Amino acid sequence: MITKEAAQFLADLVANNNTEWMHANKKRYENYKKDYHNYIALILAELKPLDKSLEPLEVKNCTFRINRDIRFSKDKSPYKTNIGCWFTQNKFSKNSPGYYIHFEKGKSFIAGGVWCPEPHELKRIRKEIAFFYEDLEAIVNDKKFKSEFGALTRDENNTLKKAPKDFEADHPAIEFLKLKSFTASEKIDDKLFLDKDFSKIVAQKLITLKPMNDFLNRALETED
C-alpha cells in the first residue's frame, strides 16, 4: 500500500513543483523515497512467486527518478507528481515485457506488455504474430484477461491506419499487426492504493498479463 504520508507529499508537490520547495522539504522527500521503495518491495514479494522470471529483480530495478526530463518539454516542472513502478522480465532492459503500476490522483492505472519497441523489436513481434496469431488471440480472449483489461490498447498514436510493410492487408491478424505498442491497461481507483491488501490485490490483477508478456518475450528472443 501507499502510505498516507507519501500520497500527501505528492499532493503538496503538485501545488509546489519547484526546486525551492523540494529543498525546503528534503526530509519529507527522504521519507517519501523510503515509502516508495517499501511499496515496491511488498509488490515484488507478491509477484515473484507468480512469475518466476521476476526473481532476479531488486527494488532498485523497478524505480523511476523523481526528476523530469524537461529538455524537450513545454512543461518545465522539474518533478514527477506520480508514483511509477516497472517490473520487467529482463532487468537489464527497461523496454522488455513487464508490468507497470501508476499512482496519480485521478489518473491511476495498472498495465503491462511492451510500449514503443525499437524497430528491430517491433519486426520480431510482428513476425511472431503473423505465424502464431492464434496464440495471441487465445490470450486476449481469455475470460479473466477480458474482465480485467478488456483488450490490447488501441489509439491513434498506437495504431497504423494501413497494413505495415511486408504484411498483406487481408492477413487474419492484421489488427494486431497494425499495432506499434503491445500493452493492456486498467484504470484503478486511487483508494485501492491505500488498502492494506493492495500488494496482493494488484499482483493478482497483473499476473493476468503474464501470458501476453510470455508471448512477447518469446517473440523478442526469436532470431530473425
What is the tens place of the pLDDT at every residue in 154-188? 998 899 999 999 899 999 999 999 999 999 999 99
What is the tens place of the pLDDT at every residue in 4-63? 999 999 999 999 999 999 999 999 999 999 999 999 999 999 999 999 999 999 999 999
Reduced to 3 states (helix: H, G, I; strand: E, B; else coil), residue 186 is strand
- DSSP string for 66-126: SB---TT-S----B--SEEEEEES-TT-TTSSEEEEEE-TT--EEEEEESS--HHHHHHHH
What is the tens place of the pLDDT at every residue in 187-216? 999 999 999 999 999 999 999 999 999 999
Q: What are 52's three cell numbers?
A: 518466476
Mean pLDDT of 115-141: 95
Q: Domain spans of the chain?
A: 4-66+79-221
d(CA 199, CA 195): 9
Q: 30-65 burial by CB neighbour count: b if 16+ within 10 A, else e?
A: eebeebbeebbebbbebbbeebebbeebeeebbbee
pTM: 0.93
Say if residues 89 and 53 touch (Cβ distance below 8 Å): yes
Q: By CB neighbour count within 10 A (0-12 exposed, 13-18 middle, 19+ buried), where does 202 fall?
A: buried
Grade residue 107 by pLDDT with cuts at 50, 70 and 90.
very high
Mean pLDDT of 89-108: 86
